[in-house]
């Protein structure tokens, strides 16, 4: 086994697409995914799981039907399962997502922003 740390900045430098999470590590049945986001995502929810957002660089907002939460670099928020939400970033923002393996980025919605799942870098 090779022991090597995972450099988040290095991993984020390997792709340019927005709203296309890339898996960088696994922990039991969970995946750690880095993503670049900009603009507005789609309203969606994940009925079976919570979803953790850690803002790595930049600023983002997660909209809810009854409010919102803003995240800056170094801040974390967990969206509870079944809660409809819409991530938004006015300029490019880098994030780390923590969620079970197999979770689709658009949750229950079909949209052009649906990313290929389980793409490792």
Give the count of alpha carbons within 13 A of 58, CB side only.
17
How high is the pLDDT of residue 115?
Answer: 81
Q: Residue 21: which domain range? A: 8-100
How high is the pLDDT of residue 108?
Answer: 65
Is 2 within a domain? no
d(CA 12, CA 16): 8
Question: Residue 64: helix, strand or coil by DSSP?
Answer: strand
β-pair partners for 54: 76, 96
What is the number of structural domains in the chain?
A: 1
Backbone angles phi, psi at 61, to 5 degrees: -135, 145
How high is the pLDDT of residue 42?
Answer: 94
How high is the pLDDT of residue 109?
Answer: 64
Per-residue pLDDT of the chain (121 residues; tens, 9 = 90+): 789 999 999 999 999 999 999 999 999 999 999 999 999 999 999 999 999 999 999 999 999 999 999 999 999 999 999 999 999 999 999 999 999 998 878 776 667 777 888 889 9
Q: State if pTM tops 0.85.
A: yes
How high is the pLDDT of residue 114?
Answer: 77
Is 78 within a domain? yes
CATH number for the domain including 44?
A: 2.60.120.10
Residue 109 tokens, joined = 């919605």
């Amino acid at each position: 086994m090779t022991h090597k740390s995972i450099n988040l900045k290095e991993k984020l430098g390997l792709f340019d697409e927005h709203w296309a999470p890339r898996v960088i590590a696994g922990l039991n049945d969970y995946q750690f995914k880095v993503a670049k986001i900009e603009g507005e995502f789609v309203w969606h929810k994940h009925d079976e799981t919570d979803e953790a957002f850690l803002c790595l660089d930049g600023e983002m907002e997660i909209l809810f039907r009854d409010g919102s939460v803003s995240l800056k670099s170094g801040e974390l928020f967990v969206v509870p399962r079944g809660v409809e939400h819409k991530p938004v970033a006015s300029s490019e923002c880098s994030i780390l997502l923590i969620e079970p393996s197999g979770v689709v980025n658009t949750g229950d919605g079909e949209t052009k922003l649906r990313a290929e799942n389980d793409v490792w870098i």
